[in-house]
Structure 1
């Protein structure tokens, strides 16, 4: 756990620098930051803007926060006062500024007050404002809410499917509440997918991704794997997600979020096979078919290729992808049509590398039937300065030819050796291993380095 200090402690040091050592506000803040960082203090939740210290009597941000909190504290069950909605709008705007501002509200007990107002709110307009404000406030502050609060969000979420504003806010609340705390998940959230009138798939996908993210540094071992298994097996999430994909396959944003969510959930072969057995691969290619010959859907194509890459952890699914009519050709065509997009080139090459890994026949098909070698070389030329693309291309080349020596000339005649050596010269260690392995398997001259010499305690790098 990192060390934290309150805003008041930081302010006292800054004012001491200004008054005792006659520093300017910028110098005082800089010195205070350096002092605390040297002590290992995390200052991410502290306001550090010098403008707040230019006038000794100017405490505007704190005064504004205090005024907002006083207004909310004095609010009762009579919500006829239109100024309350305006106050919540100001609250949200300050929270959107950054984490330190949100922490100021936390120090004044904002969570408890907002939860009380939510429980009392009967007017739809006010409830909308409260939920949107709370969603902005709780962002990156998972510890301000507890399990009971999350149950309230889920309860509101269940009852708000016909109100898009409420539903979006509730899903965002649940997402931010689970941020760095992936131990709350519920069948009630996932079951909302079954209602095809509820157009909230993108938001619920974000919640599911948050639930299986291992980013809580406070626990020695994360449980994302167990959570993913529970969500997929106990809650039937894969089938529900694929049903939603079928329903919304014409919507780029929804499809992209579902692809990302499925990629996150596919943590083992059993789950990958669930996707396959539910015709998930066919659905992915169906979505791709409608996006051929267009470069306007790059995020969708990238997330779809990423999903196929995740599924390639299973040899059975590799074969299914390669046996799908036109599947391999479609991957190459999508890469070629989006050759100017480095992200798509990278993930497409990684997918080709995964498909060809330990499968000689897949490598042969990629070259002899799909002409993947031409597109790979085009990507290397187009993105010579992009190390991730060069690394992915090196992996694809190596995996395709490692069990197909007869395909070496198909690459060499395209001057791939020159491209690989240029990439190695430009990026050096960033992609050295992948490039050297590709050159080695192409039977080109490579200089292998002996990383360690000596024996026992006398090892030298």
Structure 2
């Protein structure tokens, strides 16, 4: 994809030129313009690739999203509730349908119009739901649009309508999208008190699957560190606040009990629990509250659903950071299920990666667990994953780490693992992927294989170039 960008008007002029100067049909004119700009290395992801509609007098009008935006602006100015409902729904639908239309609307003042509609809808529930839906659609991928006034409006809506599940869901969607890849919004929402509002929504509306899943996802987003524009974020601090100040672990695990047959919600809850497993005592608390039991049960019951399997494996990997919890996981029979997950989804690199990583954490500093894993086919499954995904560096790296952890304190396991063909596969991973070099070398060394150990630093000081 190209790195250069152009304005919507530039693209529209090129399309119009193709129509008028070269007598192309509209669809052909658009295709030709796309090819021209892409050949020049232009990124067209933010461009609406369509011909502008023709008015009654034969002139080209603005794009449909801009016409909708103009109608919305007039409805706001006239405080016409009926037209507001119609135009907000149209705007939301068009923003969801095409990301480029959403970008064009964002550049053309849509946020201010939608925020004004939200204010006008304060006492009109149906209108507020439509306005929040439009705001969520507009913020998708454009969190920079939200300002302090918008954050305050969302927090106020969440507090004032906390007993209204549908309104709460609409506002939580906005919060979640505003915080993805946006550290400033995350910190501002947390300072504004969004964490107790989110955990409270899960506890209060525990029967609403969609709300529980969305609120859990919003909590998880608060623990992300995905904004490349800031040197460091508050992800760890936010995770601790969710657990220590808002009883987040208990709230999430209690919520899971109401959705034993809903794999989608349970998957969201597992993913969020994994993000909160940032301290030893938190991992232990998850086990004490019954979180491990529901994870193991979920993995067994939803083995046919790869998305759920991946999230559960990630959660098990996270809580296994506590050495005592490692034993509880193995005692619960999770190792056999992890091996089964890798074997059953061998073609899925993400599941192979997470499965190998989870087994690797369970093996770390635990010789007894290593024996259980090898006897249960864990090493064999990891090597099969390496064969299935030779180009996936993450799979290769986690499998090498697992092999290394299995034998580092259990030398008696070297022979059985080498008999499975581990040496050749690890050597291939080391040769193919630079990022695997260190861990692959460590695995070969601990397996007792011949390996060249490089001396990275001799302890001697050298002169500095002037």
Partner SS for 1:318: helix
The Cα offsets for residues 98-117 of structure 1, whole Å up to 9 and x where unpaired, read as: 66543443444332322232
Q: Which residue of 1 aligns with 2:22?
A: none
Q: Which residue of 2 aligns with 1:364?
A: 371
Residues 11, 33 of structure 2: 8 Å contact kept: no
User: 1:218–1:385: structure 2 CA closer, same or farther, 3 Å change rule?
Assistant: closer
TM-score by length of 1: 0.80
Unaligned segments of structure 2, at least 5 residues: 19-28, 53-57
The Cα offsets for residues 176-230 of structure 1, whole Å up to 9 and x where unpaired, read as: 2223021113212210111223331111122112222223445443111111111
Moved more, 244-253 or 381-390: 381-390
TM-score by length of 2: 0.79
Are 1:381 and 2:426 counterparts?
Answer: no
Q: Which residue of 2 aligns with 1:150?
A: 151
- How many Å separate the matches in 1 of 2:341 and 2:309? 8
Q: Which residue of 2 aligns with 1:188?
A: 197
Residues 139, 178 of structure 2: 8 Å contact kept: yes
Q: Which residue of 1 aligns with 2:207?
A: 197
- How many Å separate the matches in 1 of 2:45 and 2:247? 39
Are 1:297 and 2:305 counterparts?
Answer: yes
- How many Å separate the matches in 2 of 1:338 and 1:29? 39
Q: CA deviation at 1:412?
A: 1.7
The Cα offsets for residues 310-337 of structure 1, whole Å up to 9 and x where unpaired, read as: 1122222223223x24233333333333
User: 1:280–1:8: structure 2 CA closer, same or farther, 3 Å change rule?
Assistant: closer
Residues 339, 345 of structure 1: 8 Å contact kept: yes
Alignment of 1:339-354 (within 5 A): 339-354=346-361
Q: Which residue of 2 aligns with 1:401?
A: 407
The Cα offsets for residues 11-41 of structure 1, whole Å up to 9 and x where unpaired, read as: 89999x99xxxxx99999999999999xxxx
User: 1:67–1:340: structure 2 CA closer, same or farther, 3 Å change rule?
Assistant: closer
The Cα offsets for residues 394-425 of structure 1, whole Å up to 9 and x where unpaired, read as: 11111100111111111122222233334445
Q: Which residue of 2 aligns with 1:222?
A: 233
Residues 346, 388 of structure 1: 8 Å contact kept: yes
Alignment of 1:21-40 (within 5 A): none
- How many Å separate the matches in 2 of 1:8 and 1:353? 50
Q: Which residue of 1 aligns with 2:341?
A: 334
Q: Which residue of 1 aligns with 2:90?
A: 90
- How many Å separate the matches in 2 of 1:154 and 1:355? 41
Moved more, 449-458 or 252-261: 449-458
Q: Which residue of 2 aligns with 1:246?
A: 257
- How many Å separate the matches in 2 of 1:253 and 1:209? 15
Structure 1 counterpart of 2:445, from 418, 440, 448: 440
Q: CA deviation at 1:231?
A: 1.5
Alignment of 1:50-199 (within 5 A): 60=61, 62=62, 64-75=64-75, 76-81=78-83, 84-96=84-96, 101-121=101-121, 125-157=126-158, 166-179=167-180, 180=182, 181-183=185-187, 184-185=189-190, 186=194, 187-195=196-204, 196-199=206-209
Are 1:391 and 2:397 counterparts?
Answer: yes
Partner SS for 1:431: helix
The Cα offsets for residues 344-365 of structure 1, whole Å up to 9 and x where unpaired, read as: 2221111111111122222123
Q: Which residue of 2 aligns with 1:21?
A: none
Residues 182, 213 of structure 1: 8 Å contact kept: no
Q: Which residue of 2 aligns with 1:40?
A: none
User: 1:25–1:331: structure 2 CA closer, same or farther, 3 Å change rule?
Assistant: closer
Q: How many matched pairs?
A: 434
The Cα offsets for residues 225-257 of structure 1, whole Å up to 9 and x where unpaired, read as: 111111211111111001111221321100111
Q: CA deviation at 1:63?
A: 5.2
Q: Which residue of 1 aligns with 2:434?
A: 429
Unaligned segments of structure 1, at least 5 residues: 19-23, 38-42
Residues 168, 201 of structure 2: 8 Å contact kept: no
Partner SS for 2:186: coil
Residues 26, 50 of structure 1: 8 Å contact kept: no
User: 1:285–1:348: structure 2 CA closer, same or farther, 3 Å change rule?
Assistant: same
Are 1:410 and 2:421 counterparts?
Answer: no
Partner SS for 1:336: helix
User: 1:147–1:242: structure 2 CA closer, same or farther, 3 Å change rule?
Assistant: farther
